[in-house]
Amino acid sequence: MNDSSSILIINAHIVNEGRVFKGAVSITNDLITDIFEEDLKQKPLIVKGTMVIDAKGSYLLPGVIDDQVHFREPGLTSKGDIQTESKAAVAGGVTSFMDMPNTNPQTLTQKLLEAKYKLGAEKSFANYSFYMGASNDNLEEVLKTNPKNVCGIKVFMGASTGNMLVDDPDTLAAIFEKAPLLVATHCEDETTIRTNTEVFKKKYGENIPVEAHPLIRSEEACYKSSSLAVNLARKFNTRLHVLHLSTGHEMVLFDNDLPLEKKRITAEVCIHHLWFCDEDYDQRGMFIKWNPAIKTKLDRKILLESLLEDRIDVIATDHAPHTYAEKNNTYFNAPSGGPMVQHSLIAMLEMSRQGKITVEKVVEKMCHAPAICFQIADRGFIRKGYKADLVLVDMDNAWTVSSKNIYYKCGWSPFDGLPFNSKVTHTFINGQLAYENGVFNDSVRGERLLFNR
């Protein structure tokens, strides 16, 4: 694989900022240096030593920015680690990720946060950022977080690992009032979940069917917590980002009357809530058990409509691998979450092929919007002077997800056995060709994301 510092991608369908056009893109070192539109009769200059890649009509997209992943390092590396999961991400066209703090140890101090950044620098194939975690008793540490080089503060307003549930009203209010940067929330009401769990325990004992999961982690539990977060944000003018919304009812909490860069409250939806519904539990079982739960077909429909009308701003994955053995278990013993980064872009492009969303909108919600929402410096768009994080996708290359082509450390996917009609062929990280048709450039390492705040 060539490590050329000068690359020219020709004969591409470029998808960027609401347009699809034929053209070429030149890269020098880590930056996009020019964009050529075929209709404007521009002629790229091929300098000696330039690596020329003929896209042959494939689609060239900005790299996907995933604002919510769990790569499991440190401490939970039997499930996944920064190296394995970032490689899977790059194979799926994800060039930047933001990783959650519920690792072991949990990222609750600035020292532990910087230790994770050191791991990222050593191991990550993609560009990276790590959230600072909040608990009921680490407010002082949270308020030290640097908005210039940390993506956000993660607040679990629902059940979580260990002591990361923030349920003390005074602490919660103080975080929303004083946070120096974006606050990202997991919103499910713990009291409601516990009450619902007891109801189903009385009926089924320990053998609760997975179909009960969206009734236990119910619409009420989601709305109660999301509305609390939104009300706190409005009270304190907090920069709030509500993660993995799963119900139609929650959509009344979000507006689409401002451009994204002016919103103080933004919303995210994950691939699994757009793809699956409660009818899929019968076939997929615990392998599509997530928190918040996958809910009804109507919820899925409203989430997609809200995405298209810009009440929901960002598409992410909540990539959260567990081993096959862990997931292949009974309700209380099967953890929630699943791997997704390798297949997120392809799944959304499949939805585009089905006529549910345009390719331009996919790029807006997976590439442009995360960059705007988090104020990421010089990424998320195909623009001169921006970092050359780029993805080539062959839109007519059918394949089926199987253990033979999965890069996750856990070795399985919730899409196992499903056919897709497009495939990521090339991924560029900061101007380096990191992935090409199943081959990784093991010398590539991503960079720490920086933020214009």
pLDDT tens profile 338-378: 999 999 999 999 999 999 999 999 999 999 999 999 999 99
Task: Write down the pLDDT at residue 319.
Answer: 98
Q: Are 301 and 279 in contact (CB under 8 A)?
A: no
Task: Write down the pLDDT at residue 411.
Answer: 98
Cα 54 to Cα 286: distance, rounded to the nearest angstrom: 43
Task: Write down the pLDDT at residue 386.
Answer: 98
- What is 313-330 written as a DSSP string? -EEE--B----HHHHSS-
Task: Write down the pLDDT at residue 349.
Answer: 98
User: What's the CATH fold of domain 6-61+388-397+420-440?
Assistant: Urease, subunit C; domain 1 (2.30.40)
Q: Given CATH 3.20.20.140, say whether it is the number of domain 63-374.
A: yes
The pair of three-digit structure tokens given for residue 38, joined into one six-digit string: 């075929």
Task: Write down the pLDDT at residue 21.
Answer: 96
Percent of the chain with pLDDT over 70: 97
Task: Tell me if residue 187 falls in helix, strand or coil.
Answer: strand
Cα 151 to Cα 195: distance, rounded to the nearest angstrom: 34
Cα 146 to Cα 198: distance, rounded to the nearest angstrom: 42
Q: What is the CA radius of gyration of the chain?
A: 21
Average pLDDT over residues 156-173: 81
Give 210's contacts (C-beta < 8 A, 6+ positions apart).
281, 285, 286, 289, 331, 334
Q: Are 136 and 163 in contact (CB under 8 A)?
A: yes
Q: Are 270 and 316 in contact (CB under 8 A)?
A: yes
Average pLDDT over residues 77-97: 98
The pair of three-digit structure tokens given for residue 321, joined into one six-digit string: 């691998």
Beta strands 132-133 and 153-157, pairing class: parallel
The pair of three-digit structure tokens given for residue 257, joined into one six-digit string: 């009357």
- Please determine, for residue 135, whether its predicted confidence score (pLDDT) is greater than 60: yes
Burial class (CB in 10 A: 0-12, 13-18, 19+), 196: middle
Task: Write down the pLDDT at residue 3.
Answer: 52
Task: Write down the pLDDT at residue 46.
Answer: 76
Task: Tell me if residue 423 falls in helix, strand or coil.
Answer: strand
The pair of three-digit structure tokens given for residue 212, joined into one six-digit string: 């009960």
pLDDT in tens, 279-314: 999 999 999 999 999 999 999 999 999 999 999 999
Q: Any idea how long the chain is?
A: 453
Residue tagged 């590396």 (tokens): 77
Domain boundaries, the chain: 6-61+388-397+420-440, 63-374
Nearest CA to 386 among 395, 377, 396, 394? 377
Average pLDDT over residues 407-411: 98
Task: Write down the pLDDT at residue 164.
Answer: 84
Residue tagged 């390798």 (tokens): 342
pLDDT band at residue 114 using 50, 70 and 90 as cut-offs:
very high
pLDDT in tens, 313-326: 999 999 999 999 99
pLDDT in tens, 234-261: 999 999 999 999 999 999 999 999 999 9
- Please determine, for residue 71, whether its predicted confidence score (pLDDT) is greater than 70: yes
Alpha helices per DSSP H over 257-393? 271-275, 281-284, 297-308, 324-327, 344-353, 359-363, 369-374
pLDDT band at residue 16 using 50, 70 and 90 as cut-offs:
very high
Cα 295 to Cα 290: distance, rounded to the nearest angstrom: 10
The pair of three-digit structure tokens given for residue 394, joined into one six-digit string: 């062959």
Residue tagged 């701003």 (tokens): 313
